[in-house]
Structure 1
Amino acid sequence: MDLDGGKRVFNRLGPSSSHQNHNQNQNQNQNQNQKVCYHWRAGNCNRHPCPFLHRELSAPPVNGTTSSKRGFSTDDQYQRPNNNSVRRGGFSTWGPRGGGRGNGPNNNGNNRVVVKQEKICNYWMQGKCSYGDTCRFLHSWSTGSFGMLTHLEGHQKIVSGITFPVGSDKLYTGSKDETVRVWDCQSGQCVAVINVGGEVGCMLSEGPWMFVGLPNLVKAWNMQNSAELTLNGPVGQVYSLVAGNDLLFAGTQDGSILAWKYNTVTSNFEPAAALQGHTSAVVSLVVGGAKRLYSGSMDKSIKVWNLENLQCLQTLTDHTSVVMSVLCWDQFLLSCSLDKTIKIWVANSSGDLEVTYTHTEEHGLLTLCGMHDLESKPVLLCSCNDNSVRAYDLPTFAERGKIFAKQEIRSIHGGPNIFFTGDGTGEVRVWKWLADQSATPA
């Protein structure tokens, strides 16, 4: 309808009476009020009262009459593609992706079909979403095969390290707030706060020892006899720690990988070697089979080291941005990067690693964690820089669900039937695998 043209005709002819003028204004108000609120459709209208409708327009009557404004019916709404949940690129050649969860219809008292988008509601996170079940966005911290057991609050900055020593009833978390917190697994209470005097870059528990990577040093605590040691030598922040072949390795900000060996006579860790080759910070270390050490760096490369002679065997340069995390699983090496890819590496006939599969995400990847679900199926958790964690079955990469957070999740640590995540707000969350995958998520 040409409303502007109608106004011109009306103004040219003039109203025949004051009664006509009143009817005209009334019709215009009714037409305006029949509009559906654009912000309400997006799930973020905060006008009270709102001059527009917070419901969809009814379908045309069955007798063939039409209205002056065309809305879309509930069927139209349900069939409209949800572009926000469509991934770029093709499907994995390893197998079909799992379908998105949470996108099914939800009938409410107004008989309106709500098409849920796989995005958490920002207003719900702040505790002030008033739409309840009618909100188009998720009111849940997760979807899929796991639920949240509890959350642990206390850190003031990003959680950069989590460790759960084997056989212990204590969880240890480290943060850039320069503290390590000790949590009782039975009560969920913080039982100790250790001020370490610097930002925690990483944590590792190995045997009776707890290691904490700090600027220019590594702190070591013996959890059995309370002995405390300081390992000097690193230049800059220590970002990664791993143990293998009776050596402790630390990846540092200057690109070096330092190694220490424990001397039982002196009861101290003594310097053993310095592995050179990376041109920027080493942010991830992992020890794999065949006596190999793998290092991921901000120089966009992965180096393969022989643990026997500590020599570099191969440099992998397929990533185009920072290699944030490396993970060994059976004979495979997995790596993720800010270039939005996860790469699967396998040794060829000559023993060199080459990419056998690349999985692409919509966002940069921060860390990888592998574990098994309640049915002992292998699952890969990968944190993305859109404040979420994706879970995938291996080797198919079928999606198992998602975890959402207020800020980036930089730390993931697997435990028996449970796992832990730490985010940029300082919050640590404890998750459990659900035996009944149809159960309501946290």
Structure 2
Amino acid sequence: MQSTLSKQTPSPVLTDLSQRRYDLDWLRFMAIITLFFYHTGMIYVSWGFHIKSAEHSLPMEYVMRWLHRWRMPLLFFISGAGTFFALKKRSYGSYAGERVRRLFVPLVFGMFVIVPPQIYVEWLFRGRFSGSYAEFYPEVFKFQPYQDGGAGGAFSWHHLWFICYLFFYSLLSIPLFNWLKKESGQRFIDKIGRLIARPGGALWLVGFLLLNDVALGGFFPNETHALVNDWAYFMKNLILFWLGYVLISRRDFWKILTDQRRYFLIATGICTVILFSFRFFVTQDEFDTSRLVITLFSFNGLALTWFSVLATVAYGYRYLNVNKPILPHLNEAVYPFYIIHQTVILLIGYYVLTRTSLGVYDGFLTISLSSLVVCIVVYLLLIRPFKLTRVLFGLKSK
């Protein structure tokens, strides 16, 4: 290990990194499935969403508070890791073109085809509109931005904000990735390597997230997913994207993180206890007015995010880095599944909320399972077989 992380000379990037990290494919699939159930759960918790049940589930809300700090950060970390492998096989120009095809094209398509039914259903649910979808659709071409709660216009990327942010991350990061391949960049990665080689050392990388929160959190305290006024959240996920790239870039790092997985799990557990302790021991007035409470709560949330991502990736490499015949099919399906899932959930959810008397948990199961079936059918029959739909949903041509 000492020669690999030498202080005198930068370590070369290991050339034998052609092995596919199957665990990252499994984790991506698991995160998207979790996101699917999370978005169904949004109908049944107290937070704002496009359609809402009059009944809420407090246990569901507790679970989702934790998941909110883990699911999207994990996806951005995995995306950064995948970028490292992608750039080993193509030039930066080719990579940029591939990002346009696989991210920008589906984003534009989604904003005009996939997202509008969600806004239509929300307007119906809130009593803002009562006409047909054909009468509603011209509202999209007024290009008036959607606002939370169904206000504003009908132009939005809704849940496709993830694709938008990932597109910008991919292009903006090219100069950084180019520098990391140079001697000075390799010396920087050596420093990261010396840090994470210490017991639990990778935990200290949370400092990047905390510094971002100190610098930008006060100016942009809320997640908006709107890009132009979301800079603290934008930079937080960009940092996770970069860390995914760096920590996957050397095989030595894979083993170090896996060997230290118990540190990450224990740290995740401690932060989880603190997260829910805040809910029981701090009043809402203190949450709203105490700068110290707000800062400590934010810092703990960022630590929980980083530690849980590390634990997931470390345990994933230990137990999930195996190929199965179904994995390539899941890996291809997961992206179009993400693109369509929220639209299907809202369409079915609108019917369940307005036409049935189902309660929280039977309604949740009904919407989840029926939406899952519909998404699978749409993918198999309408997306996967056709060249045009494959392009529009960011899939490679057969």
Larger strand percent: 1
Pick 1 or 2: higher relative contact order, CA cutoff 8 A, min separation 6: 2
Q: What TM-score do the two structures reach when normalised by structure 1? A: 0.20
TM-score by length of 2: 0.21
